[in-house]
Amino acid sequence: MSSFETSPISNANRTRTSSSSSRDTPSPFDKAHKCRTFPKVESTEPPISELKLLGIFSLALAITRCDPSISRNPRKRLCGIFIEPTAPCFLLGQLAKNDLHKEEIVGKEFVQMALSILMDARDLVGGRFVLVDRQDKPPTKSFYLSNGPRILKRDPEKGMCQMVRYLR
């Protein structure tokens, strides 16, 4: 049986016991309220039911620069009617599958789960897009391009690329 933890790993939604696992331990970023990390877990069959961690993803708030190097149309989509040097956004980070169970889930499921949460957040507080910072390497590029984000800008010196997915 597979389930998605709608509650992120955080201090606010747990009580510590001596039997708590490392899965229940929030990251320093979660503790500092800079992001929320969401696990994807699956329970094994009885008689001994255990949870298998299939993977995680993290969501955060961010601000991106609307550099003059970005063409006019994408800049307008990022900032809307306002001409600002920065734009607030959501950040999708730490998208990772557990190597022990990598055949049991596809990365697209993580993206869909994250977008579902972000659409709810957008409806509550606003927001125009999701930012993805990734290494500028072919495997990650093809994965993200097949899941909706488009390249916004590259930083060849750091080997990084920023991608955006507009929330509709």
pLDDT at 139 over 60: yes
Angle at 76 between CA 75 and CA 81, to 5 degrees: 140
Rg over CA atoms, the chain: 18
Domains, the chain, with CATH or none: 2-166 (3.40.630)
Angle at 26 between CA 21 and CA 31, to 5 degrees: 150
Helix %, strand %, coil % of the chain (to 5)? 30, 35, 35
162: closest CA among 109, 108, 89? 89
Confidence band for 21, pLDDT divided at 50, 70 and 90: very low
pLDDT at 40 over 70: yes
- Residue carrying the six token digits 């734009």: 87
User: How far, CA to CA in Å, does 156 sit from each of 57, 75, 134, 162?
Assistant: 25, 20, 12, 11
pLDDT at 20 over 60: no
Across 26-35, 69-78, 117-126, 142-151, the highest mean pLDDT is recorded for 117-126
pTM: 0.77
**Mean pLDDT across the chain, nearest whole number?**
80
The confidence score (pLDDT) of residue 47 equals: 67
The confidence score (pLDDT) of residue 141 equals: 84
Higher per-residue pLDDT: 129 or 43:
129
Q: How far apart are CA 30 and CA 10, in angstroms?
A: 6
pLDDT at 164 over 50: yes
C-beta of residue 138 within 8 angstroms of C-beta of residue 130:
no
The confidence score (pLDDT) of residue 7 equals: 54
pLDDT at 16 over 50: no
The confidence score (pLDDT) of residue 140 equals: 83
77-88 tens-digit pLDDT: 888 777 778 889
- Length in residues, the chain: 168
94-103 tens-digit pLDDT: 888 888 888 8
